[in-house]
Amino acid sequence: MEAVEHSPNTPLEYQTETGRLNILGFWIFLGAEIALFSTLFATYLVLVGRTADGPGPAELFEISGVLIETFLLLTSSFTCGLAIHYMRNHSLKGVFVWIGITLALGLGFLGFEIYEFVHYIHEGAALTTSAYWSAFFVLVGTHGAHVTLGIGWIILILIQLKQRGLTPDTSRKVFISSLYWHFLDVVWIFIFTAVYLYGMVM
Amino acid sequence: MRLDEFFVTGDPLIYGADVSIALTLIGAIFALTYFKKWKWLWSEWLTTVDHKKLGIMYIIAAVLMLFRGGVDAMLMRAQLTVPDAGFLDAKHYNEIFTTHGTIMIIFMAMPFLIGLINVVVPLQIGARDVAYPFLNAVSFWTFFMGAMLFNISFVIGGSPSAGWTSYVPLAGLELSPGVGQNYYLLGLQIAGIGTLLTGINFLVTILKMRVPSMKLMQMPIFTWSSLITMVIIIFAFPVLTVALALMTFDRLFGSHFFTMMDGGMPMLWANLFWIWGHPEVYIVILPAFGMFSEIISTFARKTIFGYKAMVYSMVIIAGLSFLVWVHHFFTMGAGGAVNSFFSITTMLIAVPTGVKIFNWLFTLYKGRIRFTTAMLWALAFIPNFVIGGVTGVMLAMAAADYQYHNTYFLVAHFHYVLISGTVYACFAGLYFWYPKMFNHRLNERLGKWSFWIFVAGFNLCFFPMYFLGLAGMPRRVYTYGVADGWMSMNVLATFGGLLMGIGFLILVYNIYYSFRYSPRETTGDPWDARTLEWSTPAPVPHYNFAHLPEAKGHDAFWIMKEEIKQGKKPEKKPYKPIHMPSYSGVPVVMSVFFFIAGFGMVFSWNWMSILGLIGVLATMVIRSFDYDKGFYVSVEEIEEHEKTT
């Protein structure tokens, strides 16, 4: 859609009507995502303690792995913010570097999470073990699936950046994907608290 | 899997359906080929992103679903007319009431309303399209493919039979081992994607795409009702998404959310389902309220009474809609305190609803009323809806509900609110906005026949059910005994149901008759109406408005007409090129892949679901790399259009 009136300081992604509409729409989509994760959290909290004959979370959770995951994901949110900073300064190279680091941290997070899941399954706590573990795997797994999808999505955007450079369209896509990435970080903080910390002291 | 397990066999009704489906398909393919219409179908309809065309497709699909759901209803009435009838067996009856409920709510009521919202709302706010035209097409096609997936269940694999609420453990793997329940889960899941996208799309459209001069408190009431509905959709549908996903995990991957063993919690399903399900009933009633407001105001020739009260009462209803879900299972035994809380919140909803009823009545008061068909539906709505609402308050009293629960009293109540609210509104809206969509009116004479027969039939069908319920007849039973003494009222109900069917058929005939014989419209304002959609010419050009209109208050078009009557000359402004989005084949292809993935999951054919999901992802990638910027409608083309209209 056509460019709309804007001041010289307006960031690239806000310079077109499409940019403004899509960013607002994505914020609303994140609202729906909050409703989705709230439902998963509510389900999880309702099913806490319903471990049937299987192991409980306190027996299996290991704080070190979870802390590494947390550290990787929180740092990636920071580097993602730096990428937007460089985008605002019209530095394509800065965007590539910091998004690259963000993706690497995201992949690291995923690697540790997959390792953690495999470990639990070996210890006899799988999706099919009990209501508690069903809720655990679906809540944490939904977050992990979001991260996976986000990595794939951002790689596609990087290819487009390579092809087209920083335009109102590409920077809109980078900006929206950064909103998504920060959102996943927020969800993780709740998972860290409601699932892991609560699970350790249960 | 053997072939006779794949296709449903053994019932002559199903064989009849097989034959009619095959004949319809062959007929459609033959007609498209014979009249050389394939290219037209693809380039004008399947790839369209025009909100008016998508709206029309929504409505066509919804009318087809109304037919399907109506046939289910007629079969149930046929079985229940006399005691100990053997027309349907218990399993078949269960399947039919399940598909009837699911189809009517998810695949009839919602798409019918969303279709009308699609056609009308952008025109009412002076917009040339919605905020995300591509996404709008994705919404329609995912709804359509979800609906098709659900509908083929009765000939391939078997229908779901656990009720539209799908309570566990009945809907669990042990008691519903077939694939029917999977169809329910996947069909609703795919259609739900479309609904959520519609919610976001129209919320942004209404907030950001209005003509600059239209303030929020000047929007037509129908636009307001749509806005509020979209907010409900955005917060309610993710809950359904999760609930369906969890049950899918239970059934396909062996998790234990709702199972009877290993810590599962069956009542969790009921809670999740109704946390979505109760807002859902407001999703299908608020747009109906909006339509009645427009229609009553137009045909009473008065501005709506209590505009602000109308808006705020809808906002309050939307808020309360999230706080009443437990009233669907008072008998679960959550305890006195919990039941009391939800009892009171439920009764509170009667207050803003009552405000709206009085506002409609005061709008009528001293109005110069024109009894068009659309207006008749709106007028019949008020008393019928009040009957449904008052019995709703009776049901809201938790202690009394122990008596009404699961009886025909409840069946009568929700049909009174859903039919006289939503279905009447769909018909009223169809008659009202039909000239905007098809450039001719529906025949009024046939319309009135259809109206009187349907409304008489509706009351004859459902009013006796209140008394059947009080006499103890439980819902969802496939037969009853002579000694129960329920026959006479069941005969009445069946007779009423027949009349409703006849009323519907007259409506369908009216569509054909008006297509052939109705005079084409010469102006865009056949009803002397009040809001901006009527300021567009007939037929509405694909860019909607050559010049963006100006809104000087709600009833913006009425104000415009008054100014012209007082001698104000519309100034001639030069046209400017108009930007429009390009059509795209991606949404329909993506949705076909959704269908393939869903079908694979229904039968646990992993290769097929993976193939489908890869297709979905591939179409998303194609979309991501698509930098199509749309096109400009040239000034010459606009001048050409504006001359002819």
Tokens at B93, concatenated? 């009856």
Helix (H) or strand (E) holding B631, with range, is: strand B631-633
pTM: 0.96
Structure tokens at B410: 């409840």
Distance CA B230, CA B227 (A): 5
**Is domain B36-541+552-561+577-644 given the CATH code 2.70.170.10 in the classification?**
no
Confidence check: pLDDT of A100 > 80: yes
DSSP string covering B448-470:
HHHHHHHHHHHHHHHHHHHHHHH
Q: Give residue B126's region: left, alpha or beta (phi > 0; psi -120 to 50).
A: left
**Six token digits for residue B231:** 């907010």
* Measured distance CA(B587)–CA(B135) in Å, rounded: 8
Residue A1 confidence class, pLDDT cut points 50, 70, 90: very low
- The predicted pLDDT at position B124 comes to 96
Is A50 close to B265, i.e. CB distance below 8 A? yes
CA distance B103 to B107: 5
- A43–B242 CB contact, under 8 Å: yes
Q: For residue A21, give the nearest of B204, B255, B629 by CB distance.
A: B204
Q: Which two tokens stand for residue B243?
A: 């609930």
Res B5: pLDDT: 75
pLDDT of residue B24: 85
Provide the 8-state DSSP code for B35.
T
ipTM above 0.90, yes or no: yes
Mutation test of the interface with chain A: which of B138, B246, B249, B262, choosing the one with the most A Cβ atoms within 10 A?
Answer: B262
What does pLDDT average to over chain A? Answer: 94
- For residue B64, the SS3 value is helix
**Rounded-to-integer distance, Cα B103 and Cα B111, Å:** 10
Taking a C-beta distance cutoff of 8 angstroms, is the pair A21, B132 a contact? yes
C-alpha to C-alpha distances, B316 to B198, B309, B523, nearest whole angstrom:
22, 10, 38
* B209 and B130 Cβ atoms separated by less than 8 Å: yes
Instruction: Give the chain B residue whose CA is nearest to the CA of A40.
Output: B242
Beta partners for residue B440, in sequence order: B520
Residues of chain B with confidence (pLDDT) below 70: 1, 645
Mean pLDDT, range A105-119, rounded to an integer:
97
Write phi, then psi, for B385 (nearest 5 degrees): -70, -35
Q: Which residues of B touch A135 (CB under 8 A)?
A: 257
* Positions of E strands within B187-294: none
Q: Which residues of A sit within 8 Å Cβ distance of B?
A: 1-2, 20-22, 24-25, 28-29, 31-33, 35-36, 39-40, 43, 46-47, 50-54, 127-132, 134-135, 137-138, 153, 156-157, 160, 164, 169, 173
| Cβ-based burial of B620 (10 A; exposed 0-12, middle 13-18, buried ≥19) | middle
- Mean pLDDT (chain B) is 94
Tell me whether residues B253 and A128 touch, CB distance under 8 A.
yes
DSSP helix/strand/coil, B22? helix
How near does any CA of chain A get to the CA of B133, in Å?
11
Q: What pLDDT is attached to residue B554?
A: 85
Tens of pLDDT, residues A45-83: 999 999 988 899 989 998 899 999 999 999 999 999 999
Does the distance separating the beta carbons of B629 and A1 come in below 8 Å? yes
CA atoms within 13 A of residue B9's CA, in its CB half-sphere: 6
Q: Convert the pLDDT of each residue in A125-165 to its tens digit.
A: 999 999 999 999 999 999 999 999 999 999 999 999 999 99
pLDDT of residue A3: 63
- Which residues are CB-contacts of B567 (< 8 A; sequence separation ≥ 6)? none
**A90-202 CATH pick, 2.30.42.10, 2.40.40.20, 1.20.120.80, 2.60.120.330:** 1.20.120.80
Q: Do A131 and B257 touch (CB under 8 A)?
A: yes
Alpha helices in B41-132 (DSSP H): 51-80, 90-102, 110-124
Instruction: For chains A and B, count residue pairs whose Cβ atoms are closer than 8 Å.
Output: 113
CB atoms within 10 A of CB A148: 15
Q: Which two tokens stand for residue B424?
A: 């009447």
Distance (Å, rounded) from C-alpha B490 to C-alpha B498?
12
Q: Is the bond preceding B169 in cis, omega lying within 30 degrees of 0?
A: yes
**Do residues B282 and B358 make contact, with C-beta atoms less than 8 angstroms apart?**
no
d(CA B422, CA B458): 13
Quote the DSSP letter at residue B595: H
CA B590 vs CA A143, B47, B150, B264, B629: distances in Å: 24, 12, 18, 35, 20
The domain limits of chain A are: 90-202
